[in-house]
Structure 1
């Protein structure tokens, strides 16, 4: 079974797929070692680790090199967060998707947020991109490559539910393998979307939305925590480093 097939199979079991989010090789190896069945990179975490804000400020080749290093050193499927594709034109985005597939990932997150301006890409434009993406991947030997179409409606709109439902169905009809809806948190809205959309729905951990069993009952097939773990580790590092410099004593490191 290829990694693409293995990754797809993880979305088809009765259990929810708890996807561990990593930002460097150490975090990836750690999550694999403790038992995660698949991992996804977090663009936020990668950007932070290199001293950049999130939002495609890193050179794509540098970003891809980190993803490639992770893929080459773990034995579980990896999904790559490539934000909106690191390009302002369709061909550049398609080229970057293919370059990402070629390093051995099993899937990608591709979002509908615009990076050079506020707002979302028009539905018809994003659907056309997804159609071309699927065709390109199929024609290059990456059949069933997992395209997780992320929509940022809950980050961008005041009343996002109806637009989210419309976009989710349109993205699936255009070749997406699943739909990622960060910010979606109300149980009744989650259930409505998972009931209406036949492909796997991915939600992201936020305060009050943390339990896999609850999400599984709501029909969610994939659950990820984004940059929450990397942020927690940075906070821990900052707190302990501050303690060292203030106390001029490292004894607590060995407690």
Structure 2
């Protein structure tokens, strides 16, 4: 069984998929050693590690090299966060997806929000993009490559539930393998999304939304923590670096 097949199976198993989010090789190896069955890269974490902010500000080639390094050095499947695809047109985005698949990952996250302005792509427009991505992947030999279609309705809309269901099912019909809904928090919304969207549901960790067992009971199949771990590590380094400088003493490094 190759990694694409392994990753697909993890989404259709009775076992809940708790995905570890990595931003460099060290974090990926640490997550694998801890026991995570799959890794998703975090574009936010990668950007921060390079001194930049999230939002496709990292050169795509550089971003892809980091993803490739992770994919080549772990034995578990890797899903690549490529934000909105790093392109201004369908052709460029499709080519970037193929380049990403070629470095050995088992899937991608791709979102329906714009990077250079507020708002979401039109449903039909984004569904068409997903269709073109799926078709190109199949033609390249990447059958069952996992397209996790992220919709940012809960980050941008005041009444997002019905539109999220509409977008989710439109994306699945166009070739998406799963639907990622960051920002959803209420149990009743999560339960309805899991029932009404005809594909595995992925949600993002938030304060108050943290427990895998509870989410599994609500119908969620995949859970990720995004940039939360990388943010915590960066905050820890900031605190310790400040302490070292202020105290002019390295004793804290050994306690």
TM-score scaled by length of structure 2: 0.99
Aligned-pair CA distance for 1:132: 0.6
Residue 182 (structure 1) aligned with residue 182 (structure 2)? yes
In structure 2, distance between residues paired with 1:250 and 1:11: 46
Instruction: Please state if 1:246 is matched with 2:246.
Output: yes
1:24 is matched with which residue?
24
Residue 44 (structure 1) shift: 0.1
**How far apart in 1 are the matches of 2:198 and 2:140?**
26
* CA distance in 2: counterparts of 1:214 and 1:14, whole angstroms: 14
Aligned to 2:79, the other structure's residue is in SS state strand
Question: Between Structure 1 and Structure 2, how many residues are aligned?
Answer: 255
1:150 correspondence with 2:157: no
RMSD: 0.5
What corresponds to 1:54 in structure 2? 54
1:79-135 Cα offsets, whole Å, 9 max, x none, are: 000000000011000000000000000000000001121100000000000011101
CA distance in 2 between partners of 1:216 and 1:86 (Å):
33
* Aligned-pair CA distance for 1:198: 2.2
3-state secondary structure, aligned to 1:180: strand
Secondary structure, aligned partner of 2:14: coil
Q: CA deviation at 1:159?
A: 1.2
* Deviation sequence 1:22-42 (CA, Å, 0-9, x none): 000000000001100000000
- Partner residue of 2:2? 2
Which runs of no fewer than 5 residues in structure 1 stay unpaired? none
- Once the two structures are superposed, residues 188-223 of structure 1 have per-residue CA deviations (whole angstroms, 9 ceiling, x without a partner) of 000001011221000000000000000000000000
Distance apart, 1:137 and its partner CA: 0.3
Map of 2:69 onto structure 1? 69
Deviates more, 1:158-167 or 1:227-236: 158-167
Q: Could you tell me how far apart the structure 2 residues matched to 1:161 and 1:52 are?
A: 32
Please list, as runs of the form range in 1=range in 2, the aligned pairs for 1:84-99 lying within 5 A after superposition: 84-99=84-99
Distance 1:195 1:161 in 2: 12
Provide the rounded CA distance (Å) in 1 between the counterparts of 2:213 and 2:115: 35
Secondary structure of 1:13 counterpart:
coil
Partner residue, 1:140: 140
Counterpart residue number, 2:108: 108
* 1:226-245 correspondence runs (5 A): 226-245=226-245
Deviations 1:148-192 (A, max 9, x none): 000000111111111111101111111100000000110000000
Structure 1 SS opposite 2:26: helix
